[in-house]
């Protein structure tokens, strides 16, 4: 049986937030105060829709936006890690579950030449219309009270595993790699033998430390914090060998 590797995208594969990185494509590389103040907690995707409309209003072309997005830095060791995964597809399936969007992730992976490492991407659907304006929609509706309204990563992971099982694809283990608050919920979906890998010093690690101190039995997965993709690569190599 294969290992399933699940990645977050922002501050995990790339070392920044793709949704704020795109602001560099605007003429002033900033957003007006009225737009920044329009954000409502838990409704980031709707806010990003307004940001992308504003970028279109500034006559920023999709080509320029793409060039800016392709300059986002990868987290240290992630190029090597994704290369390793792409070379070991007989042993590893790999998906991304992200609060970014399909266009940004596709641009970044395509530019890096590492798209072959990723089997599927679950994120907010985006497209560019005939005017050159980009728009983004919520990934799905769900009833989880802990997650943003547009995406519950636990539900995505649960559904993916169920659908794979129906196709007679079963995983020996799942390795979940993330950094943020919205990566906490899917880690509860992990079972004994699975591995949760929070980025050191980021929100997910802090949430896990707090939860474990209050009741360690809540998590069945082994928890291994990381600082670079090379550390994850070493763990993954040991698992499949």
Say how far apart CA 194 and CA 189 lie, in whole Å.
10
pLDDT at position 241 is 86
Is 63 annotated as a binding-site member? Answer: no
Catalytic site includes residue 106: no
pLDDT at position 141 is 87
pLDDT tens track, the chain, 241 positions: 999 999 999 999 999 999 999 999 999 999 999 999 999 988 999 999 999 999 999 999 999 999 999 999 999 999 999 999 999 999 999 999 999 999 999 999 999 999 999 999 999 999 999 999 999 999 998 999 888 889 999 999 999 999 999 999 999 999 999 999 999 999 999 999 999 999 999 999 999 999 988 877 778 899 999 999 999 999 999 999 8
- All residues at 6 or more sequence positions from 1 whose CB lies less than 8 Å from its CB, including other chains: 170, 171, 172
Angle between helix axes 78-86 and 229-240 (nearest 10 degrees) is: 30
Catalytic site includes residue 15: no
Is 129 annotated as a binding-site member? Answer: no
Say how far apart CA 3 and CA 236 lie, in whole Å.
9
Is 19 annotated as a binding-site member? Answer: yes
Query: Of these residues, 10, 93, 183, 194, which one is catalytic?
Result: 10
Is 10 annotated as a binding-site member? Answer: yes
1 burial level (CB within 10 Å; 0-12, 13-18, 19+): exposed
Query: Of these residues, 8, 93, 183, 194, which one is catalytic?
Result: 8
């Amino acid at each position: 049986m294969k290992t399933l590797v699940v990645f977050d995208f922002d501050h995990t594969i790339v070392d920044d937030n793709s949704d704020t990185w795109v602001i560099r494509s605007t003429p002033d590389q900033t957003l007006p105060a009225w737009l920044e103040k329009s954000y409502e907690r838990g409704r980031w995707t709707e806010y990003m829709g307004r940001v992308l409309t504003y970028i279109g209003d500034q006559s920023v072309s999709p080509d320029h936006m793409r060039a800016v997005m392709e300059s986002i830095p990868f987290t240290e060791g992630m190029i090597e890690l994704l290369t390793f995964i792409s070379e070991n597809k007989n042993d590893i399936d790999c998906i991304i579950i992200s609060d970014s969007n399909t266009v940004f992730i596709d641009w970044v992976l395509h530019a890096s030449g590492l798209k072959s490492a990723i089997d599927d991407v679950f994120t907010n659907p985006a497209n560019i219309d005939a005017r050159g304006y980009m728009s983004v929609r919520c990934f799905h509706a769900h009833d989880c009270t802990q997650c943003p309204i547009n995406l519950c990563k636990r539900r995505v992971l649960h559904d993916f595993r169920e659908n794979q099982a129906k196709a007679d694809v079963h995983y020996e283990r799942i390795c979940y790699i993330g950094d943020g608050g919205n990566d906490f919920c899917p880690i509860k979906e992990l079972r004994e033998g699975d591995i949760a890998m929070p980025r050191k010093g980021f929100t997910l690690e802090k949430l896990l430390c707090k939860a474990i101190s209050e009741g360690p039995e809540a998590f069945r997965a082994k928890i291994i914090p990381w600082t670079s993709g090379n550390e994850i690569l070493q763990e993954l190599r040991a698992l499949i060998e």
